[in-house]
Amino acid sequence: MAIRLHKLAVALGVFIVSAPAFSHGHHSHGKPLTEVEQKAANGVFDDANVQNRTLSDWNGVWQSVYPLLQSGKLDPVFQKKADADKTKTFAEIKDYYHKGYATDIEMIGIEDGIVEFHRNNETTSCKYDYDGYKILTYNQARKAFVTYSNVKILKAKPLNIYNLAII
């Protein structure tokens, strides 16, 4: 799986580098989100709309956004949030997300029920067996749901792993 992830990472790199050549031609970004889907993306949804999903829905390589926050690349997003919500400053919003995004996991790979966690040029993997979800309610009635699993570590090494919060 590590070899496949490496090949996928190289392919994604080539795609990212060449993407500007293809950007915003005559193409579609897929069907627009419904109002319910847009609200769910913002953490507002009815509990009845949450359904069980398989891990294969998330197959692929997932990069941490924490380095983007650290580099300042997310600052325009935080500024837009501060402009929209006059009760919080830019610094308060950035600090809030800094606490939420902080991790030493650089990348997560998901394929065939195996989850790989990449940190400091080391990989720890585990088999993921879905065991349900729990809906979490945050301040301002925002929600997320967390999946639970029984994991079997395939290469044991101490690792702080948070469940994936998926809206």
The DSSP string of 11-38 is: HHHHHHHHHHHHTTSS---SSPPPHHHH
DSSP string, 92-115: HHHHHHHHHH--S--EEEEETTEE
Give percent above pLDDT 70 in the chain.
Answer: 65
- Cα 101 from chain centroid? 10
What's the pLDDT at 145? 57
Residue 101 inside a domain? The answer is yes
Check: CB of residue 59 under 8 Å from CB of residue 114.
no
The answer to whether residue 8 sits within a structural domain is no
Does some domain include residue 89? Answer: yes
| CATH number of the domain where residue 123 is located | 2.40.128.20
- Asked if 19 and 114 count as a contact pair (C-beta separation under 8 A), the reply is no
Digit-coded pLDDT (tens) for 142-161:
666 555 554 444 444 434 44
Is the pLDDT score of 163 beyond 50? no
Burial of residue 150 (number of CB atoms within 10 Å: 0-12, 13-18, 19+) = exposed
Q: Would residue 166 count as lying in a domain? A: no
Residue 106 lies in a domain: yes
- Cβ burial, residue 130 (10 Å; 0-12/13-18/19+): middle
Structure confidence at residue 141 (pLDDT): 60
The most confident of 6-20, 69-83, 120-134, by mean pLDDT: 69-83
Residue 75 lies in a domain: yes
Max mean pLDDT among 18-32, 40-54, 88-102 falls in 88-102
Identify the helix (H) or strand (E) that includes residue 56. none
* Domain assignment of residue 54, yes or no: yes
**Bridge partners for 161 per DSSP:** none
In a domain, 9, yes or no: no
Domain that holds residue 94: 45-127
Into how many domains does the chain fold? 1
**pLDDT (tens digit, 9 = 90+) per residue, 20-38?**
443 444 445 578 888 888 8
